[in-house]
Chain A
């Protein structure tokens, strides 16, 4: 009985492989020494199985427990009770269990933990690659389970892997039904999704150099799909993020403090009566955005966006905020009134905010602005004149501009004359405010890459951009983009085209596919993969209560609780019945001997020349009849029949000779086919 509880060697290898596979994605999030300890434990267990080391003694176990205790306390003190510390702790407990794993029961503890650990990966990413990896992990864990239960004499891994894959695939239909129909429950308690990652993407502060830093990265920011087929030119694709209206001479900031974003209560402030400040009489563009996690609350949309999805709020500057930090991919629907205007009348307080500049410094710029304003009649003409000034003078658009001195605006406008979008936006807004025209900086993304395979747009971090909005009498806030004046390519063809030759562009990712954009098939492959990822996100990752409700409504009409449950039960029962029958059914055709199958197909071949085997006709009789009719087949028929008769009376166990004979029979069947093909044609003609 005892042998039953021991761990077979082959099973142990599978268990260790599972543990390694499960831990690999976590290593980037765990402190390095946790990874080192994990590796030591795995190695230790391997050496135990080879008899080179012993199971840990009592002392070591006490040390381990104390160590883990101290570790968890220090983790909680340094980074708080977050997901990352929990993952490290789980990983530690998990590998410690490994070294004292003696019995099958312990294996199942470890393997169950493997499942929980692999789930953790989904908390960080639900992409297609992660999902495929987890699917592979599940198969490997199943392999370990199978190896645990099968005779230790079966050493080759192939059949184990096959069986594990078979079980996984057979489990898929039921999984899909449960996934689609099992009622999704709202979170039981609020979990702090603080995973210590700093925010990515556009930030709520803009100092010179911030955006050019972002542009060097190739990560995806979000994907957009329009409801109707619209082809917006690149120069209209201004994905508005935040409005920065507070300038201190160096940095542009949002006037709200940052701490308020994550706090859902603060969004009360955003709910104000903005209907009076915008017109919504145009035809809106409706689109869906799937945003990559940023750990920030703000989201992006085209001009004058009105959120459709719940949980999204509009701020007084028509920025959009999600209720909570975006730590998972977020999908939201928006309607944008791109032609409509906002704030036709500007009250005194926002006007005051938007013309404020530091009292001192940048004298030359002030002087320049006043002179230029005096030369034209209207504010609009003045703004255009500034753009024209940028366009006609030797300004350069570059990722690596020269350093700026104390008077940043002066230095930039009249000395270095090179900069990235943030320099231009900053200088432009300053020049407006210098002559009391309300102006502000908007940060977000500009441009997109179109993916023809699934008909959506991809916006990358290198599309990050800063531009301006200027308030003009009778027009409200109007978008101006000084970068466009300096480098029209950036706006019309996108950052890739404008910065292609800039050595700093994407230099962190020397071998990214972007770089190879020129190579057709790689680009196609990249777009295809992204299309797949997009579909995956839209259909699988974003499958939630709402989508489920819509689906149910489509399937069963009025959704009531009992109806939905009944539907789930019926669907589950049907699928289980199908799978059950498939698994348990005794396959009758496979039940037949392969040799008999071969002989049957010989009869079928001969049917082509009107000599089918009669029901119940013995092989020897059949041979004689065929030879009598077709003497030219005498040789092959006698050989065939001889072989078949030999094989029919063999013992049930298969040996090499029989295998050879079966192969021979197969070869003869092919030979017969070959011989018959001209004959069949002739008889067909006759």
Chain B
């Protein structure tokens, strides 16, 4: 019950934030989007100031009053300085590299400052993400990675970026939320499986050429299995007194491999995509040309890194 109230409150808060925070690639922090509250440490400090004040009253010690007031004034200065540490900080969302689903997406954020300003001990994080620290003291700009777990395939929109600081005294915490309108492409999570389960060729060879990474004109031997074509028996080896082997060639397989949606009949969409993703990664390490067939999409076989990315992209955005 309590939890649900909390959750709904949280939901409302998020909506309120969303309505308040414009999505823009470049954001400057200023008094309208910086929030500030004392920390628990700050409360403790104020409690100590209160103790000093009570002692000053009871012992009628003038300078203890002075100390109590100095402590309170320093606290107020801490509010100003902490605020000032975020004030006028400029944030810019940069291109963020694609990741596989369930990995940490690294959103690149550039922080820059006005020439007269310094920003120290800035913490950047997404909700439930890791905290990244940044300083802007000597440099004018700095690019940092802010990580968050990419939990969905497709175009992953960065949640609100939270910028927090406790600097200089740690008595207050100033924070701000910005939406830098950052996206990151999330490929399906590759799922490893044994590729022996299917054949891409039509040779009747139960071994798959796909596994045999390496040169295009692969050449090797394997034990003869009854039923193998006699044409492929390595007679020369046999003549040398070795056991019966069969010559194995990759070239005989059709070098244009098709990764087909239907190869994973019986799997769910995401499971199929994950496996296809794995295939793409595997195959791209060989020099074989391969293509992709998805319902409604067909990409002709090709090789090279661009091709790989094109395929991964297609997988990432499929159905979305």
Q: Are A150 and B121 in contact (CB under 8 A)?
A: yes
Specify which chain B residues have a CB less than 8 angstroms from the CB of A611 in the assembled complex.
Answer: none
Q: Which residues, 72 to 106 on B, are CB-close (under 8 Å) to A?
A: 72-74, 76-78, 80-81, 83-84, 87-88
Q: Which residues, 68 to 114 on A, are CB-close (under 8 Å) to B?
A: 104-105, 108-109, 111-113
Q: Are A167 and B63 in contact (CB under 8 A)?
A: no
Docked pose: A118 CA to B137 CA in angstroms: 33
How many residues of B sit at the interface, in one of the four size bands? 35 or more
- B65 touches which one: A142, A171, A179, A653 (CB < 8 A)? A179
Tell me if B's interface is mostly helix, strand, loop or mixed.
Answer: helix
Docked pose: A187 CA to B57 CA in angstroms: 5
- Distance in angstroms from A97 CB to nearest chain B CB is 12
Instruction: Say if the beta carbon of A174 comes within 8 Å of chain B.
Output: yes
- B60 touches which one: A154, A168, A544 (CB < 8 A)? A544
- Chain B 60-76 interface 0/1 with A at a Cβ cutoff of 8 Å (1 = within): 11111111111111101
Specify which chain A residues have a CB less than 8 angstroms from the CB of B115 in the assembled complex.
Answer: 590-593
- B61 touches which one: A126, A148, A167 (CB < 8 A)? A126
Determine, out of B166-174, B231-239, B270-278, the stretch whose residues face the partner at the interface: B166-174
Q: Are B44 and A174 in contact (CB under 8 A)?
A: no
Q: Are A122 and B130 in contact (CB under 8 A)?
A: no
Q: Which residues, 122 to 148 on B, are CB-close (under 8 Å) to A?
A: 123, 130-131, 133, 135, 137-141
Which residue on B lies nearest to A580, using beta carbons? B80
Q: Are A115 and B44 in contact (CB under 8 A)?
A: no
Determine, out of A239-247, A506-514, A581-589, A600-608, the stretch whose residues face the partner at the interface: A581-589
Instruction: Say if the beta carbon of A182 comes within 8 Å of chain B.
Output: yes
Q: Are B41 and A104 in contact (CB under 8 A)?
A: yes
- Distance in angstroms from A488 CB to nearest chain B CB is 42
Docked pose: A543 CA to B56 CA in angstroms: 13
Docked pose: A170 CA to B60 CA in angstroms: 26
A188-B54 contact, Cβ under 8 Å, with A108-B45, A591-B115: yes
A171-B74 contact, Cβ under 8 Å, with A583-B84, A590-B115: yes
Q: Are B59 and A193 in contact (CB under 8 A)?
A: yes
A590-B63 contact, Cβ under 8 Å, with A149-B166, A584-B80: no
Specify which chain A residues have a CB less than 8 angstroms from the CB of B55 in the assembled complex.
Answer: 116, 119, 123
A126-B57 contact, Cβ under 8 Å, with A174-B76, A178-B73, A652-B141: no
Q: Which residues, 151 to 203 on A, are CB-close (under 8 Å) to B?
A: 151, 153-154, 163, 167-168, 170-172, 174-175, 178-179, 182, 184-189, 191, 193
Which residue on B lies nearest to A547, using beta carbons? B62
- A167 touches which one: B72, B81, B117, B141 (CB < 8 A)? B81
- Chain A 556-600 interface 0/1 with B at a Cβ cutoff of 8 Å (1 = within): 000000000000000000001001100110111011110000000
- Distance in angstroms from B198 CB to nearest chain A CB is 45
Q: Are B64 and A145 in contact (CB under 8 A)?
A: no
Q: Are B169 and A142 in contact (CB under 8 A)?
A: yes
Specify which chain B residues have a CB less than 8 angstroms from the CB of A104 in the assembled complex.
Answer: 41, 170
A586-B116 contact, Cβ under 8 Å, with A131-B63, A151-B135, A652-B140: yes
Q: Are B167 and A149 in contact (CB under 8 A)?
A: yes
Specify which chain B residues have a CB less than 8 angstroms from the CB of A588 in the assembled complex.
Answer: 116
Specify which chain A residues have a CB less than 8 angstroms from the CB of B167 in the assembled complex.
Answer: 146, 149-150
Specify which chain A residues have a CB less than 8 angstroms from the CB of B131 in the assembled complex.
Answer: 1, 3-4
Docked pose: A191 CA to B54 CA in angstroms: 12
Q: Which residues, 636 to 684 on A, are CB-close (under 8 Å) to B?
A: 652-654
- B69 touches which one: A178, A193, A542 (CB < 8 A)? A178
Docked pose: A104 CA to B44 CA in angstroms: 12
Q: Are B169 and A122 in contact (CB under 8 A)?
A: no
Q: Are B62 and A543 in contact (CB under 8 A)?
A: yes
- B168 touches which one: A1, A146, A178, A185 (CB < 8 A)? A146
Docked pose: A596 CA to B52 CA in angstroms: 50
Which residue on A lies nearest to B57, using beta carbons? A185
Q: Are B40 and A105 in contact (CB under 8 A)?
A: yes
Q: Can you report 25 A-B residue pairs in the complex whose CB atoms are below 8 A from each other?
A: A3-B131, A105-B40, A108-B41, A109-B44, A112-B47, A115-B45, A115-B48, A115-B71, A116-B48, A122-B64, A123-B59, A138-B74, A150-B120, A170-B77, A171-B73, A174-B73, A175-B69, A179-B66, A184-B57, A187-B60, A188-B58, A328-B61, A584-B87, A593-B115, A653-B138
In the complex, given contacts A123-B61, A167-B74, what are 15 additional A-B residue pairs having Cβ atoms less than 8 angstroms apart?
Answer: A1-B131, A115-B45, A123-B55, A145-B170, A145-B171, A150-B120, A153-B135, A167-B78, A167-B169, A174-B76, A188-B57, A328-B60, A541-B63, A579-B77, A591-B114
A positions within 8 Å CB-CB of B? 1, 3-4, 104-105, 108-109, 111-113, 115-116, 118-119, 122-123, 126, 130-131, 134, 138, 142, 145-146, 148-151, 153-154, 163, 167-168, 170-172, 174-175, 178-179, 182, 184-189, 191, 193, 328, 540-544, 576, 579-580, 583-584, 586-588, 590-593, 652-654
